[in-house]
Amino acid sequence: MHPPPTITQTYFLDSSTLIHSVDRSAEYHKECLNIIIRAAKGQINAATSLEALEETLFILSKLTTTATALSVTQDLLKITKIRKYEMDQSIFEQALEIIETTPLKRPKDAINVATMIEHHIQAIISEDKEYDRINLIQRVHPKDIRQI
C-alpha cells in the first residue's frame, strides 16, 4: 500500500495518466481526470516533461483526431500548476545509462526517470508496471491517489 499523498511531495505525471484523463474508455479514466483537476487546482504538486506531452499528443492523435489531440495538449501546457521540464543533454545521457544498467529498456520510460532524478521527484503516477522493475523511483497507480 502506498502512503497517502502529501502536498509537499511532487508527482511526475506519466503520459498514460495524461492520456487516460481524456480517454473515457480507459479503465482508470475518472481517477486520471481527477488527478489532472487536482493538480490544476494545486491540490497535488505535479510535474511532467515536454517528452511526456509529446507522447500524449502522438497517442491522442491516433486515438482521437489531430484537432482533439492538439486542443488537449495545448490545455495541458496552459495548466501553470503542473510544472513542465525540458530534456537536456545531461538528462538524455542519464537516460542512456538507465537503459544500460537497469531492466528499464524503453527510452521514453528512461527519459521520464532521468527527468525525475534530475528534478528530485521520487514518485510517478502511472499504470505502467515497467517502473516497478527499478528502485530509482516509486510508481503510484492512479487508483491509489486518494483525496487529501
- Identify the band that residue 6 occupies on the pLDDT scale cut at 50, 70 and 90: very low
Residue 38 within any structural domain of the chain: yes
Domain containing residue 50: 10-144
At what angle are helices 66-78 and 50-63 packed, to 10 degrees?
150
The pLDDT value given to residue 3:
52
Write the pLDDT tens digit of every residue in 88-125.
999 999 999 999 999 999 999 999 999 999 999 999 99
Neighbouring residues of 97: CB distance < 8 A, sequence distance ≥ 6: none
Look up the CATH number of the domain holding residue 72: 3.40.50.1010
